[in-house]
């Protein structure tokens, strides 16, 4: 999991305290692990990088550009340094339109595309965790839960909703 300040409002809110930011990201990862446990999938945080000085790839309001740049950086720089299955960029940059996250479908464990981008859109870490879990679902090959596909979400929002509902990611 990578974090992209100086744009990240949480980094600013935490007094630019890297340890507080790492604690928040660990909490997000723990929520994601909890969501996937019911599917007998464990999500382990094997690395954490906070970009506190400068972004290591272009992070813009265009989610397509940001995703492409992040996945290129992951493949060329991060993967050779630290082997991992998937990387997610959590950023405070507000993406254009209604996008709060994006990830390639069915790309888990590929060098080229196993990752995603998530906008840290809430003071509550649960908000980013739900979005990250949604984008990770796309990496696993999951599509949106829609009635047209015969898999509409029957769980009400007050009972947790469904991770792959289009509005959660």
Q: Exactly one of 19, 27, 49, 135 is catalytic; which is it?
A: 135
Q: Around Cβ 161, how many Cβ atoms within 10 Å?
A: 16
Two structure tokens written together for 67: 């995703």
User: Is 135 a residue of the active site?
Assistant: yes
Query: Which residues belong to the annotated binding site for Zn(2+)?
Result: 134, 138, 144
Q: Give the three-state DSSP class for 46.
A: coil
Cβ(77)–Cβ(56) below 8 Å: yes
| Residues 111/72, Cβ–Cβ less than 8 Å | no
Which residue matches tokens 């992951």?
A: 74
End-to-end CA distance of the chain: 17
* Active-site annotation, residues: 135
């Amino acid at each position: 999991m990578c974090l992209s300040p100086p744009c990240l409002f949480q980094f600013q809110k935490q007094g630019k305290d890297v340890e507080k930011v790492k604690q928040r990201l660990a909490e997000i990862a723990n929520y994601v692990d909890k969501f996937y446990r019911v599917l007998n999938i464990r999500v382990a945080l094997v690395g954490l990088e906070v970009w506190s000085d400068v972004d290591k790839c272009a992070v813009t309001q265009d989610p397509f550009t940001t995703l492409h740049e992040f996945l290129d950086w992951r493949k060329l720089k991060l993967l050779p340094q630290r082997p991992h299955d998937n990387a997610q960029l959590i950023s405070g940059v507000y993406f254009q339109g209604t996008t709060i996250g994006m990830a390639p479908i069915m790309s888990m464990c590929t060098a080229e595309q196993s990752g995603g981008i998530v906008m840290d859109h809430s003071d509550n870490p649960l908000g980013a965790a739900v979005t990250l879990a949604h984008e990770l679902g796309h990496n696993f090959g999951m599509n949106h839960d829609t009635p047209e596909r015969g898999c509409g979400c029957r769980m009400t929002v007050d009972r947790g909703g469904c991770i792959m509902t289009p509005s959660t990611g």
